Chains A and B, each alone.
Chain A
Amino acid sequence: MINNILIIVLNILFLLIMPFFMVGLIKKTKAFFGGRKGISIFQPFYDFVKLLKKGQVISSSTSWIFKIAPLVIFSSVIFAGLFAPIFYGKAIIELECAFVVFSYLLGFSKFFAIISALDTGSSFEGMGSSREACFTTLIEPAFFIILASIAVLTGNSTFNSISMILTSTGAFGLLITIMMVAAIFIMLLVECSRVPVDDPETHLELTMIHEVMILDNSGFDLALITYASGIKMAILSAIIVNLILPSALNGALFAVLFIALTLLLAIIIGIIESMMARIRMSHVFEFVFIMSSIALVIASLVAVRMFGV
C-alpha cells in the first residue's frame, strides 16, 4: 500500500517545491508576452515567506470557521497529494479506488473554502463561492467517469492506471490519452482558477471566482491558501504529465523529463493566459461541459473497445 522511501521523498519534495516554480514560471511567461522583464522565478516563494511573517486583519463578521478554514484547506490538499500519482506514476499511498479518496479530500477543502467565504458575510465572496460550488458539480462526475473507464481499459483500479494507457493499448491508447490530457487540462484550468475560466490577476470582484473567495484573508491564512492552490495545480499537472510520459523510462531520465514536462505545462498555461481572454461568466458552463462531453466519449470508446458493440 505504502510505496518505497525514494518515491515518498521525491513525491513530497515535488508537492512542496513545485508549486512555487510553476506559479513563478507562469508569471514569467506572461511577463515575456507582455514585453516586460517580469519578476524573479523565486518571487512566489518570497511572497509566501513574507505573508507568513505578516500580521492579519480579520473581519468582524467572521467566526472561528474563518480561522480554521485555511488550515483545513491546506491540510486536505496536501493529504490528497498523498494519493495522487506523481513520480514514476506512483502515489505515496496506493489503494484501489484511491481517486475517490483523492477527490473527496479535495471536496473537503472546497467545503471549507466555501463556508469560510460565506462566513465574512460579503456579497462578493458569496458570489465567488456560489460559482465555485456550481462548477465543481460539473467537473467531478466527468473526472469520475473518466477514471472508471480507464480502470476498465487497463484492468487496474488504482490511481496509477493512468500511466498505463499509453504503453499498454497502442494506437487506441494514444487516442484516449489525448482526450484525457484535454479533459484533465480543462479540470486544471477550472480548479486552479486560470484563464479562460478565471483570472487570478484581476481586480474586478464581480467577475472573479476563486480569488474573490479569499478577499478577506490575509497574512498566515492567505499564505496557506495560495500555497494550497499551487499544490493543487502541481498535483493536476503531475497527473497530466503521467499520462504522456511512458513509465518504462529508467530512473533519473524519467525524473528529469518529468520535472521538465511539468515546467513546460506551466509555460503552456502562461501562454494560454497571455493569448486568450477570459470567457464571459455565463459561457464558462459551456467550456466546463467540454470536459463532461470528453468523459462521455471516452466512456463510449472504452465500451466499444472492451465489448465490441
Chain B
Amino acid sequence: MENYFIGILILIFSGIFSLLIKNSYLKLKFIALCAFVSTCFELNSVFKIFKFGTIEKIFEYGSIFNQVRFSLDYLSAFFIFFITIMTTLGAIYARGYLSNYIKKKKDITAHSVFLPILTASMLLVVGVQNALMFLIVWEMMSLSSFFLVMFEHEKKETRQAGIKYLIYMHVSVIFIILAFALMSLASNSLDFAQFKIALENDFAMANVAFILGFIGFGIKAGFVPFHNWLPSAHPAAPSHVSGMMSGVMIKTGIYGILRILSLILIPSCQIGYVVIIISIITMLYGILYAISQQDIKKLLAYSSIENIGIIGLGLGVGILGLSYNNPSVALLGFSGCMLHVLNHSIFKELLFFGAGAIYSKTHTRDIEVLGGLIKSMPKTAVLFLIGAIAICALPPFNGFISEFLIYFGMLKGIMIDNISAFLICLLAFGALALVGTMAVLCFTKAFSAIFLGEKREKAKDINEDVNSSFIFPMSLLACFIFFIGLAPKLIFLFVSKPVSIFVQTGQIEQYLNILQTISIVLAGLLIFIGILYTIRYFVSKGSKVHQTWGCGYDKPNEKMQYSASSFASPFLVMLMPLFKKVSDIKKPKTIFPVHAHFVQHLEDVEEEYFLKPVLKSTEKFFEQFERIQNGNIQQYISYGIIFLVIVLIVAILLG
C-alpha cells in the first residue's frame, strides 16, 4: 500500500516542482523521469496485490469524512496497471511532440503541472472507497484534463471544445452524486463496503443506483447519446493528451460502472438488456461516424466511442450471465470487457501517437491532403498499420482476442434457454460482426489515405521520419499488441483475477485451451507468411518498375487516385438518412467554366437534432432572467429599496 501512495506523491510533487525548472525541455524530461519512477512503485504494488490479494488502508479525517478507506482489490490493481504504463508512455511521447511548440516559444508550464496530476488523480480514483473522497478526486481528474485540453487556448475552437468538455463532465458529476447520495441514504454511510451491504436487500434501489451511475459514468466513458464531448475534445488536445484521455481516462468511466456493479450482488436481467442495447447503439453510431470523418483525430475519437460500445457489450453480456446464473457467459463477458479495456488503451494510444507524429510533420489533420507518407515516414507507417489492424480486431493481434471472448460469451448467451436472452444476444452478435467489418472499412480508409498511393499536397515536402521520442513509446505499444495477440493464455489468466470479483472463475481451464490453440494457429500464420516471403524472394525472377496501370493514360497524377471520401462513399450513401449533409456546391457554368467548387461535410445528427435544440431551449429559459439582471443601475437600486421595504414590513408585522 505504501508504494501506491509513494507513487502518487511522486507524481503530484513532480507536477509542483516542475514550476521551479525554467528550461522547457528539462521540465518535460523531469516529468517523464518522475512518471517512470512512480510507475515502478505502482507496478510493485500491483504485483503484490496479484500475489497476496486486497490491501487496505484507512485514514481518519474528523467530522466530514469520518473514515476514508483506500482499498486496492484486483479490479483497482488491473486499472492501476495500465493507467501507470500508458500515462508514462504519454509523458515520454510529450517530450517529442511538444518540442515543436517549444521551438515556437509556447509556454508549457501549466501543461507540465497538470500532466502528472491527471495521472495521480486517476490512480486515486481507482483506489478510493469513500464516496465523498471519490467525488473530490474525480473532479481533480476532470479539471486537470480540462487544463490539458486547453493547451492551445489561443485558438477559438480549442476554447469551445474545452468548455464543452467541462460542461459534459459536470453533468456527469451530477448523476454520480445522485447515485452516491441514494446509496448513502440507504446505508447511512459514505463507504462503498457499507453501500454493498445496503444494496444487498434492496433490488429496486440497486437498479436505480446502477442506472444513475451508468448515466454519470457513461458520460465520462462516451456512451451514445452522451458522447458528444469526445469528437470535439480529442482533436483540440495535443496528441499525447488525446491518447491518454481516450486510452486511459475514459476507462475510469468503465471503472466506475464496474465498481457500482461490484456493489450489487445479482443484477437484474433488465439492466443487462439496457446495457447491451445502449452498447449496440454506441458502437454502431461510433463506427458509422468514424467512417465519415476526414479529420484523423476526430475519426479516432469516434472510433473510441465504438470501442466503448464493444466494452459495454462485454459488460452487458457479463451482467446477463450473472442474472441468468450462467457463470461461463459471465466469465467470458467480463473477461472480454476487461481485456478490451486494456487492448483499446494500447492500440488507441498507439494510433493517437501516430496521428500526432503525422501532425507534427505535416501540420494537418485532414487525411484528404496527405498520402504516400509510407515512403518518407516508414517507421510511423508500420506502427500505425499495426495499430489499425489491431483496432479492426483482426488476428493475429490483441483486439481479436478480446472480441473473440465477447463473441464467445454472446454465443453462450444465445444458447441460454431463454427467448429474450436469445434475441438480444443474437442481435448483439450480428451487430458486432457489422461493426467489425465497418472498422475494416474505416481503418483501411484512414491508413491508405494517409500513407499509401501518391503524395498529395501537404505530404509532398516531407522527407524524414519523426525522431526516437515519438518512435520509442509507439514501438513499445506495438510490442504489447504482439504480445497479447500471441500469448492470450497469460493475459486471460491475468484478466481473470479482476473478473473473479464478479463471478467464479472455476471453468476457466477449457477456455484457456481454446485460446492456446488459437494462439498457436496465429503464430503459425505469422511463420507461414515469413516462409512465403523467403520463397517469394528466391522464386520471383526480378521485377520491372513501371507506373500504375491507368487504362492507357500515361500521365497520371496524385489527384487521380481515389480519395478517402470517395472510398467510404458507397457505404455512406446507403445510410445517408443518418447524417446531416452540409454541402457547398458551385457548379461549373458556361462553356469555359472559370470557377467551381464542391465541399461536403457530414454532421453528427445527435448534435444537430438533439443537443442544439436542447441547448437553445435552455438558453431561452435562462434568457427570461435577463429582465431581472439587465445591467441597469437604477433598477438594481430599486431592488435594494424594495428589499429594505419588505424587511421593514416583515419586522413590523412580526414585531
Q: Is B300 an interface residue, CB under 8 A from the partner?
A: no
Chain A residue contacts of B422, Cβ below 8 A: 152, 303, 306-307
Instruction: Name the interface size band of chain A.
Output: 35 or more
* Complex contact A122–B548 (CB within 8 A): yes
Could you tell me the distance in whole angstroms from the C-beta of A131 to the nearest C-beta in chain B?
A: 6
Could you tell me the distance in whole angstroms from the C-beta of B547 to the nearest C-beta in chain A?
A: 5
Chain A residue contacts of B472, Cβ below 8 A: none
* Complex contact B429–A145 (CB within 8 A): yes
Complex: A126 Cα to B548 Cα, angstroms:
12
Complex: A78 Cα to B400 Cα, angstroms:
18
Q: Is B540 an interface residue, CB under 8 A from the partner?
A: yes
Q: Mark A103-121, 1 if CB is under 8 A from B, else 0.
A: 1110110110011001111
Complex: A65 Cα to B411 Cα, angstroms:
35
Q: Is A219 an interface residue, CB under 8 A from the partner?
A: yes
Which of B15-23, B214-222, B318-326, B446-454 forms part of the interface with chain A?
B446-454
Complex: A54 Cα to B375 Cα, angstroms:
27
Complex: A303 Cα to B417 Cα, angstroms:
11
Q: Out of B407, B426, B545, name the residue touching A149 (CB < 8 Å).
A: B426
Chain B residue contacts of A56, Cβ below 8 A: 540, 542-544
Could you tell me the distance in whole angstroms from the C-beta of A61 to the nearest C-beta in chain B?
A: 5
* Complex contact A130–B568 (CB within 8 A): yes
Measured CB to CB, the nearest residue on chain B to A68 is: B533
Q: Is A245 an interface residue, CB under 8 A from the partner?
A: no
Could you tell me the distance in whole angstroms from the C-beta of A164 to the nearest C-beta in chain B?
A: 15
Number of contacts between A and B (CB, 8 Å)? 252
Measured CB to CB, the nearest residue on chain A to B550 is: A122
Chain A residue contacts of B524, Cβ below 8 A: 79
* Complex contact B567–A130 (CB within 8 A): yes
Quick one: given A57-B544, A123-B561, A133-B440, are A100 and B394 in contact (CB under 8 Å)?
A: no
Q: How many residues of B contact A (CB 8 A)?
A: 83
* Complex contact A157–B571 (CB within 8 A): no
* Complex contact B441–A220 (CB within 8 A): no
Chain B residue contacts of A40, Cβ below 8 A: none
Chain A residue contacts of B454, Cβ below 8 A: 61, 121
Q: Out of B410, B514, B533, name the residue touching A95 (CB < 8 Å).
A: B514
Q: Is A96 an interface residue, CB under 8 A from the partner?
A: yes
* Complex contact A118–B567 (CB within 8 A): yes
Q: Mark B568-596, 1 if CB is under 8 A from A, else 0.
A: 11110010000000000000000000000
Measured CB to CB, the nearest residue on chain A to B375 is: A63
Quick one: given A95-B517, A126-B566, A126-B567, are A115 and B444 in contact (CB under 8 Å)?
A: yes
* Complex contact A123–B560 (CB within 8 A): yes
Q: Is B539 an interface residue, CB under 8 A from the partner?
A: yes
Complex: A216 Cα to B547 Cα, angstroms:
9
Could you tell me the distance in whole angstroms from the C-beta of B226 to the nearest C-beta in chain A?
A: 26
Chain A residue contacts of B570, Cβ below 8 A: 130-131, 134
Q: Is B541 an interface residue, CB under 8 A from the partner?
A: yes
Chain B residue contacts of A101, Cβ below 8 A: 395, 404, 518, 521
* Complex contact A115–B441 (CB within 8 A): no
Complex: A115 Cα to B540 Cα, angstroms:
22
Residues of B539-564 contacting chain A, CB below 8 A: 539-551, 556, 558, 560-562
Could you tell me the distance in whole angstroms from the C-beta of A2 to the nearest C-beta in chain B?
A: 8
Q: Is B468 an interface residue, CB under 8 A from the partner?
A: no
Q: Is B629 an interface residue, CB under 8 A from the partner?
A: no
Could you tell me the distance in whole angstroms from the C-beta of A307 to the nearest C-beta in chain B?
A: 4
Q: Is A144 an interface residue, CB under 8 A from the partner?
A: yes
Residues of A63-89 contacting chain B, CB below 8 A: 63-65, 67-68, 71-72, 74-76, 78-79, 82
Pairs A–B under 8 Å by Cβ, sample size 30: A55-B541, A58-B543, A61-B548, A72-B529, A75-B532, A76-B395, A79-B521, A79-B528, A96-B411, A96-B514, A104-B404, A111-B444, A118-B562, A118-B567, A119-B452, A119-B453, A120-B549, A126-B567, A127-B562, A129-B444, A130-B569, A137-B434, A141-B431, A141-B433, A145-B429, A145-B430, A148-B414, A216-B549, A220-B540, A307-B418
Contacts beyond the supplied A59-B549, A79-B521, A133-B444: 18 A-B pairs with Cβ under 8 Å: A1-B517, A57-B543, A58-B545, A59-B545, A63-B375, A63-B381, A64-B374, A97-B411, A100-B408, A104-B436, A121-B454, A130-B570, A142-B430, A144-B433, A145-B426, A157-B411, A219-B540, A303-B422
